[in-house]
Structure 1
Amino acid sequence: MMSSSGQTELGQATSTKDMEKVKKLYKDKKKFAKMLTTFDQHGQTPMTNALKNNQEEMSPLHYAVHLGRDDLVNTLLKAGADLDIVGRDKKTPYELACESHKEIANRMLRYKELYEWLKEQGLQDYKEYFVKEQIFKDLLGDINEKILEKMGITTAGQKIRILKACAPFKSEVPIAIQPSPTISRKDVLDEDDLPSPHTPDIVGLRDSLIAMKHIGEINIINDNELEYTEKLGAGSSGKVYRGLYKGKEVAIKILKSMSEAKEVDEFKKEFQIMSAIRSKYVVNFYGAVLTPRLCMVMENCGRGSLYHVMNNEKYDIGWDSTFRFAIETARGIECLHKWNPQIVHRDLKSLNLLVNDKWEVKVCDFGLSRFNTGSNMETLTKMRGTFAYCAPEVYFGEQFSVKSDVYSIGMILWELVTRCINCRYERPFSEFKNLQHDFQIIIQTAKRGLRPTIPPACPANFAALINNCWDAKFENRPTCTDIVSALQTLETEYKSNKDLWEKAIKPLPIKPNGDDDD
């Protein structure tokens, strides 16, 4: 509700320093949270006034921390809220977060470290540019001239100054991370992920894992060896946390309740694949925790999935990056296909390719993967995976083969080329507005031969490779070794004719609001 002056109730209270009114509004925490970031007719939020009047009471950032609202904290930090405001309890918002909300404290720490670095370098005037693009200290090594221009920093002198300050981060080598004694598990883990006194033991699971075929070293990790530091996300199979294991930063996947035999069997199959495979192109598997909950402990890839990298428009993904991502993807799947016994991934997509801080691509998520052996024949005829990446023969009930994975590689190559040429991510088949669901896509691809539209500017030989990968007949598709060789040949062509290839890059116009397909 707006007052006659055009301010919100909370905005008026903060502008007049009526803290009794603020406290009264605070009692309805849901309504208060909404008002906290509501703009009045002057384009102001209560934060604007509170920042001016912070000497006497608490800032909106204090209130957001008290509410435990990570989303509000993030909104306020992006808007430029001061982390060093001291409230009536003589504490800053960051100090409050350290006491009660460790995830919020971790987020604030990233801002604090950035601000301190900018101050040390005399670059405080550029704070809003870095905050707007969410570029923190861990990304400073990726700053280049093109990124600065996208940030709105265009003057030559400004760019030289910032690039010089960022230069030391380009050569930094990560060191073993030391555990933080201030963060306890209950501060990071969701309540349903904490150990329960009623958690049942999984009878015989350890013995059955040790008895599995095709794997070498078995590593069962004691839960006490792990430290959980931050929740990264959640999916259909469980939640993923960032953590520490023996001084190394890892990703810890806590699996959902293993109450049924089928779920335990699926876990065992994924454990078997991940324990067997070792390659620089496959995410490293450290081991599994069996009690008090089932966890998979893996290498943490700080940049997230290739899908998310392609979706981030601040990243300049030109031909060099496109070839690197494509070749490393093909090498990762080539490693699976050449393993003895052979492994098929069965759910290959850009979301299941991770990118680490060195921009290296790693194949991950082996929940549907299987050894291509006689014992798995029935399983390999079932339609699994994401339908937009799924080969036609799988729809028709034929056996999933290495050539079915190659079809999926074709889709990923299309994503990469399209992102490179158009300078923005496009989802496979997004140009066909009548296809709203995955099952519609698999029917059209299998029965009508529909494929995503390759950009007209795509070099002919690259387009031919994509078409070969997603050929309707699996026997016509290349092997992963063929794909690697073809990509290397294309990369050589590109390096010999860079000007010609660069002309193919034609950024699409920015989509109007509400017309985003992604």
Structure 2
Amino acid sequence: MTVSGETTQTSNNTSLSHKLTSTTPFLSLKLYAVIAILVLCLLAAALLIFLCVRTTRASRKRKMRVKHSSGSIPLVSKEIAEIKSPSPRAVLDIGEGKIGNQNVKEVKEEMEIVDIERGKGNRSGLESDGSGPQNIGWGRWYSLKELEIATRGFSPENVIGEGGYGVVFRGILQDGSVVAVKNLLNNKGQAETEFKVEVEAIGKVKHKNLVGLIGYCAEGAQRMLVYEYIDNGNLEQWLHGDVGPVSPLTWDIRMKIAVGTAKGLAYLHEGLEPKVVHRDIKSSNILLDRKWNPKVSDFGLAKLLAPESSYVTTRVMGTFGYVSPEYASTGMLNEWSDVYSFGILLMEIITGRSPIDYSRPAGEMNLVDWFKGMIQSRRGEEVVDPLIEVQPSPRAMKRALLVCLRCIDLDVNKRPKMGQIVHMLEADDFPYRSLQETRSAR
């Protein structure tokens, strides 16, 4: 029996060996070679599928991209976006009217003031007492459950931006409206502080050039703010992103963005009481809609300035390159700090350069120093962004350059108000000093 079993096993092995070494019709290859090729193909396919899944997951975490004929840029701001009010509320809107040099009340537009006192509850009571949510006097209360459903459980796939102290999610409410939900992170009480500041600063007002905040959620430790979803990115992405050899931001579009931003800031400074100092004006905080209308966003660092106060002393906050020198050195904050930051922003719009760029030669790293040097050397026409296909007229260019220089004047008292800046940028015939006079004054 043992000899017979061994004989059978030997016969089977011989037969298997014969089959493996037999020639197949496929390219006249041996069977074992064909099997080896199939195994390698299966391994390669498995590896390819693994890499595709991994790449897809990684790409979902990146900012969404919007295609443009001349290139592509990230879809949304790393800060926040604006939202339309779901119910008609009285607002104060300077809108399209020109703002006078001295008093915003001179604006010839229909204006209405939001009646905050109509709301129930008080603004500082952000917690629910268990019997139902407390209102802050404006906007709509969203439950945590509503926002979880809207954002699919705050899925990483719905992250559209991260910045400041929060993560922004794209959400779809039950009525089908698309919103941006900013989930404030808990950073030693900063989330609570930012929540109250944004509610106080912009929850009660609306302007076409300011991001509109209309909803909120405050359950337990959660603090969330709800805005309209804007899908055309922010100014920083369009100025510094990959847009191809020709920028879609023409000179006229750039001036439209500058004027709209100035109107929004003029409303904060001159149309409200107490006035609001934004404190973090920069290109990434200027959101853009499909018609290139700018929306000033992210009021998490804003400060309210009472009428009797010329400044407020605060810990220096803001973004390097945009902060005014007097605020950086003293901590004394007022609207002139915003004016300085706007001047840097306008330089950025004109030149297409970042305020601080360490990749440039030593004399060009600091935008302000390079810009002033070019003006003093009578080379002002060379500062315009080379990606602008149609260059501006000499008069339009000089007017914009002059506004920049006046905004960043080291003498705070010589800086114009935001309302005056709007007038200067819009009016072709306003009386202004020549660039030569401005240079000599510095």
Name the TM-score, length of structure 2 as normaliser. Answer: 0.61
Distance, in Å, in 1 between the alignment partners of 2:139 and 2:320 is 33
Contact residue 273 and residue 307 of structure 2 kept, 8 A: no
Secondary structure of residue in 2 paired with 1:388: coil
Cα 1:356–1:491 shift into 2, 3 Å: farther
1:228 aligns with 2:151: yes
1:307 aligns with 2:236: yes
Task: Give per-residue Cα distances to partners, 1:12-47, cap 9 Å, x unaligned.
Answer: xxxx994532544677xxxx5xxxxxxxxxxxxxxx
When the two chains are superposed, the root-mean-square deviation of aligned CA atoms in Å is: 4.3
Residue 407 of structure 1 corresponds to 340
Distance, in Å, in 1 between the alignment partners of 2:145 and 2:280 is 32
Residue 359 of structure 1 corresponds to 292
1:482 to partner: Cα distance? 0.6
Residue identity matched to 2:214: Y
Residue identity matched to 1:336: L
Task: Give per-residue Cα distances to partners, 1:337-372, cap 9 Å, x unaligned.
Answer: 121210000011011110122221000001100111
Bigger share in strand: 2
Distance, in Å, in 1 between the alignment partners of 2:184 and 2:320 is 24
1:390 to partner: Cα distance? 0.6
Residue 425 of structure 2 corresponds to 487
Contact residue 282 and residue 364 of structure 1 kept, 8 A: yes
Distance, in Å, in 2 between the alignment partners of 1:133 and 1:461 is 30
1:262 to partner: Cα distance? 4.7
Partner of residue 266 from structure 2, selected from 311, 331, 334: 334
Residue 403 of structure 2 corresponds to 465
Residue identity matched to 2:208: K
Task: Give per-residue Cα distances to partners, 1:119-166, cap 9 Å, x unaligned.
Answer: xxxxxxxxxx97x94599x9xxxxxxxxxxxxxxxxxxxxxxxxxxxx
Residue 355 of structure 2 corresponds to 428
Contact residue 308 and residue 351 of structure 1 kept, 8 A: yes
Distance, in Å, in 2 between the alignment partners of 1:411 and 1:17 is 65
Residue identity matched to 1:416: I
Distance, in Å, in 1 between the alignment partners of 2:290 and 2:417 is 29
1:460 to partner: Cα distance? 2.4
Task: Give per-residue Cα distances to partners, 1:231-253, cap 9 Å, x unaligned.
Answer: 11222412111112342211111
Secondary structure of residue in 1 paired with 2:299: coil
1:311 to partner: Cα distance? 2.0
1:450 to partner: Cα distance? 8.9
Cα 1:374–1:360 shift into 2, 3 Å: closer
Distance, in Å, in 2 between the alignment partners of 1:288 and 1:388 is 32
Q: Which has the higher contact order (CA 8 A, sep 6+)?
A: 2
Secondary structure of residue in 1 paired with 2:281: coil
Secondary structure of residue in 1 paired with 2:351: helix
Secondary structure of residue in 1 paired with 2:142: coil
Partner of residue 394 from structure 1, selected from 327, 352, 376: 327
Partner of residue 244 from structure 1, selected from 163, 169, 172: 172
Partner of residue 201 from structure 2, selected from 263, 267, 273: 273
Residue 499 of structure 1 corresponds to none
Residue identity matched to 1:217: W
Secondary structure of residue in 2 paired with 1:250: strand
Distance, in Å, in 2 between the alignment partners of 1:319 and 1:383 is 34
1:204 to partner: Cα distance? 5.7
Contact residue 203 and residue 212 of structure 2 kept, 8 A: no
1:120-199 to 2 correspondences below 5 Å:
133-134=71-72
Deviates more, 1:227-236 or 1:462-471: 227-236
Identity of paired residues, percent?
25
1:324 to partner: Cα distance? 0.6
Distance, in Å, in 2 between the alignment partners of 1:377 and 1:211 is 32
1:467 to partner: Cα distance? 0.2
Cα 1:266–1:374 shift into 2, 3 Å: farther
Distance, in Å, in 2 between the alignment partners of 1:135 and 1:391 is 29
Cα 1:435–1:386 shift into 2, 3 Å: farther
Distance, in Å, in 2 between the alignment partners of 1:257 and 1:430 is 32
Distance, in Å, in 1 between the alignment partners of 2:430 and 2:310 is 40
Distance, in Å, in 1 between the alignment partners of 2:144 and 2:308 is 33
Bigger share in helix: 1
Task: Give per-residue Cα distances to partners, 1:386-431, cap 9 Å, x unaligned.
Answer: 1200111102215211111000110111111113xxxxxx212438
Residue identity matched to 2:232: R
1:301 to partner: Cα distance? 1.7
Residue 127 of structure 2 corresponds to 206
Residue identity matched to 1:330: A
Distance, in Å, in 2 between the alignment partners of 1:333 and 1:22 is 62
Contact residue 277 and residue 336 of structure 1 kept, 8 A: no
Distance, in Å, in 2 between the alignment partners of 1:264 and 1:310 is 33
Distance, in Å, in 2 between the alignment partners of 1:289 and 1:17 is 60
Contact residue 355 and residue 361 of structure 1 kept, 8 A: yes
Contact residue 184 and residue 191 of structure 2 kept, 8 A: no
Residue 21 of structure 1 corresponds to 40
Residue 212 of structure 2 corresponds to 284
Question: What count of residue pairs does the alignment treat as equivalent?
Answer: 316
Distance, in Å, in 2 between the alignment partners of 1:382 and 1:320 is 38
1:266 to partner: Cα distance? 3.0
Cα 1:378–1:262 shift into 2, 3 Å: farther
Distance, in Å, in 1 between the alignment partners of 2:339 and 2:36 is 65
1:490 to partner: Cα distance? 4.5
Contact residue 170 and residue 181 of structure 2 kept, 8 A: yes
Contact residue 429 and residue 452 of structure 1 kept, 8 A: no
Task: Give per-residue Cα distances to partners, 1:46-94, cap 9 Å, x unaligned.
Answer: xxxxxxxxxxxxxx4x5445446334xx6xxxxxxxxxxxxxxxxxxxx
Residue identity matched to 1:241: F
Contact residue 210 and residue 264 of structure 2 kept, 8 A: yes
Residue identity matched to 2:231: G
Name the TM-score, length of structure 1 as normaliser. Answer: 0.52
Partner of residue 186 from structure 2, selected from 257, 263, 270: 257
Contact residue 370 and residue 376 of structure 1 kept, 8 A: no
Contact residue 269 and residue 277 of structure 2 kept, 8 A: yes
Distance, in Å, in 1 between the alignment partners of 2:310 and 2:418 is 22
Residue 279 of structure 2 corresponds to 346
Secondary structure of residue in 2 paired with 1:286: strand
Distance, in Å, in 2 between the alignment partners of 1:22 and 1:291 is 54
Give unpaired runs (5+ residues) of structure 1: 1-15, 33-59, 75-102, 115-128, 139-175, 177-202, 420-425, 494-518
